[in-house]
Structure 1
């Protein structure tokens, strides 16, 4: 396990480069993101450990990061002052572009994986915005009317994107629909609908009696890389749910075991049934949703962090299983998920 210290800055998001298996971007903030500056780290994995290739300081906290899918040196960040900034590694100190349209903290940025010439941001101000690196203003604004913690383009379509918000809804937008048609909104899925067989749903390894699900804030979600209609969501209630967006009357799978809120989830780019989660219980966990046979369950966990784990990401290259995580303990860890699949 490799580690890097983000001294004085608490990690919020970590992302592997889509071009290099040895390059990682980390967004971090002073004072746990409550007040103070932010810092973007560009890290390189070398034979001598992890080294900082470049750092950029910002006047407000950084909450998320996304590598450009078109330019190997560019990375976008979401800031606490409502701005979205684009940095180029070949340009020291300052961003090459900055947009100031959101009214509150930008908690998510996500690059279009298919078209590659646009990216999205979502904010506590209840909006999602679509951007082009070459335009001074946003291309489109999508209202959610709720604090929106996570937005993501589908890896299977350049026109479909999604979000989860504090109102406990998963929203699906299709940019091909007319703007007048509900601002491109095609589905609004209540994540915490009461389930018909609550008695069958219990936390992993727990004998506690089940309780009815109450709406709670959804903090993170991700599209499955192999199944175009499958999305996983998670948040404050500590449960990972998978949905088929064609028929969402009930979740496909519920994965339980985390003791505190789940801050980040990520489907594997190598295995269609495996995903990672990062939680405020200081653990990263590996799960199967059971779609390859069997039942959804925890496969293993990594407990090396000593504070809230806020970010996790898979390496796209090499042997399946390599992952990076960041935490409020001011550490970035690089680890092999496969080596933790022997159990809790």
Structure 2
């Protein structure tokens, strides 16, 4: 919805089970953590990514700030339990470790237009693909995701 609320629905009963006032503006993306069924990240027009623990939604586990325009997509890594990526209309892709006090690991700027799509390769650890309104698709492994700088989940 455009009101900044994250809603968790019971699709069988068509009932909203949980409504979280997650952002001050529209949420454009969300993703579940692959290692913890209780952790969800949201990305918003308010330029922030919030990480939520569904067991305690009074405040986010972390609020990730740095983008200067709306967050178009958030995606958790399938290989590291606290790593996520976000892409934005500010032409950047950012990599975060939400468990750290200073969570920003890297900012990738290789597009000349809005970055609107993002995903991790399920078959090659730490390989990322993104796409942009500049009509390009980039496949890469960010330097911040090397084995020496970021541990993978067991």
Structure 2 residue runs without a partner (length 5+): 147-154
Structure 2 residue 133 is the aligned partner of structure 1 residue 324: no
Residues 58-77 of structure 1: pairs in structure 2 closer than 5 A: none
Structure 1 residue runs without a partner (length 5+): 1-164, 193-214
Residues 133-172 of structure 1: pairs in structure 2 closer than 5 A: 165-172=1-8
Equivalent in the alignment of 1:313: 119
Number of residues of Structure 1 aligned to a counterpart in Structure 2: 146
Equivalent in the alignment of 1:279: 88
Of 3, 20, 37, 1:189 maps to 20
Q: CA–CA distance in 1 between the matches of 2:144 and 2:137?
A: 17
How many Å apart are 1:184 and its aligned residue? 2.4
Structure 2 residue 140 is the aligned partner of structure 1 residue 335: yes
Residues 1-344 of structure 1: pairs in structure 2 closer than 5 A: 165-176=1-12, 179=13, 183-192=14-23, 215-290=24-99, 294-318=100-124, 320-337=125-142, 339-340=143-144
Please say if residues 28 and 73 of structure 2, whose CA atoms lie closer than 8 Å, have aligned partners that are also in contact.
Answer: yes
Change in CA separation of 1:230 and 1:188 when aligned onto 2, cut-off 3 Å: same
How many Å apart are 1:175 and its aligned residue? 3.2
Larger Rg: 1
Q: CA–CA distance in 2 between the matches of 1:264 and 1:310?
A: 7
Please say if residues 302 and 340 of structure 1, whose CA atoms lie closer than 8 Å, have aligned partners that are also in contact.
Answer: no
Q: TM-score, normalised by structure 1?
A: 0.41
**Over the residues paired in the alignment, what is the CA RMSD in angstroms?**
1.5
Q: CA–CA distance in 2 between the matches of 1:341 and 1:271?
A: 10
Equivalent in the alignment of 1:83: none
How many Å apart are 1:167 and its aligned residue? 1.2
Change in CA separation of 1:268 and 1:341 when aligned onto 2, cut-off 3 Å: closer
Please say if residues 253 and 296 of structure 1, whose CA atoms lie closer than 8 Å, have aligned partners that are also in contact.
Answer: no
Q: TM-score, normalised by structure 2?
A: 0.89
Q: List 4+ stretches of structure 1 deviating above 4 A.
A: none
